[in-house]
Amino acid sequence: MATLYSKIEQEMDCPKEIVIWNYWDHEHIVGTHYKHYESVRIRAEKDNWCFSERYVKLPFIKFMLTTRNFAYLESPFLMKSFHIGKMGLVLEQDFHFKDIGQDRCLVTLENRIEVPGAFKFLEPFFKKMTTRWFYATWNEDHPMRLRRWKVWKLGFRDFTGIDYINQKTAKPAGRESENRLYPIELPVPKSTRIRQEGYTRPFSESIEVGYELPPLP
């Protein structure tokens, strides 16, 4: 047997806890990543582990496929994930999280897959494929994480919103500077029947207006 290996590193302008929340928020898979994922279902979940199924179209493969995934958060610095695909292939992923300064973290992803020795020559393709997939989803998660961190610092509370917006009052001075740490709380609260029936994207195509316009000069 041989192991195909790839490693990808990327910095992020938010605490690592936001990134961890993002990875454990399974419902966003058919929201933020609606162009790739048709459906997701959590088969079992508890505290720091989750077993799920996803129906996905990878960008370099022209058809949909089902993958099963088991992931667990070993510590605030390490998440391990196993994608089980066809023919018994298992993609093992180690996600390393490291704070590297004020509101900044480093995400390092190691990918491994065991194949018959004769297929070792596929490693360059494996590196290219895993890197391309990493950035396809990273580029969609990046603005999500930044925005989550921004609204969090403004006082956002889940299933509530921001107080001064809801109450139509003035924003408290210095609200963004208040020391409001972001906790790791798993499992992430659910708003759908993702555990019972799964969660399917409402549409596969959209006219995207996008995130906000630049500030007024």
Partner 1 sequence: MEFKKIGEVKDLEPHGQFSRWIDGHDILVYRFEGGIKALSNICRHFGGPVGFHKMREGRFTCLWHNFQYRAKDGSCLDHPGLALREYKVKVEGDSILVELVEESQ
Q: Report if residue 165 touches partner 1, rule: CB under 8 A.
A: yes
List the one residue from 162, 186, 187, 195 that touches partner 1 (CB under 8 A). Answer: 162
Binding track over 31-60 against partner 1, x by CB under 8 A: xx-x--------------------------
Range 96-121 burial, b when 16+ CB lie within 10 A, else e: ebeeeeeeebbbebbbbbeeeeeeee
Decide: is 168 part of the binding site for partner 1 (CB under 8 A).
yes
Q: Is 92 in the site for partner 1 (CB under 8 A)?
A: no
Cβ closest to partner 1, residue 8 vs residue 146: 146
By rule CB under 8 A, what count of residues binds partner 1? 44
Q: Is 158 in the site for partner 1 (CB under 8 A)?
A: yes
* Of positions 2, 84, 151, 186, contacts partner 1 by CB under 8 A: 151
Residue 109 DSSP one-character state: E
Nearest CA-CA partner of 57 in 159, 204, 185, 209:
204
- Other C-beta atoms lying within 10 Å of the C-beta of residue 83: 17
Among 43, 80, 40, which Cα is nearest to 56's?
40
Strand partners, 99: 105
Which residues, 6 or more positions from 145, have their beta carbon under 8 angstroms from its beta carbon? 12, 14, 18, 19, 22
- Interacting residue ranges for partner 1, rule: CB under 8 A: 25, 27-28, 30-32, 34, 144, 147-148, 151-152, 154, 156, 158-162, 164-166, 168-171, 175-176, 191-192, 201-203, 206-216
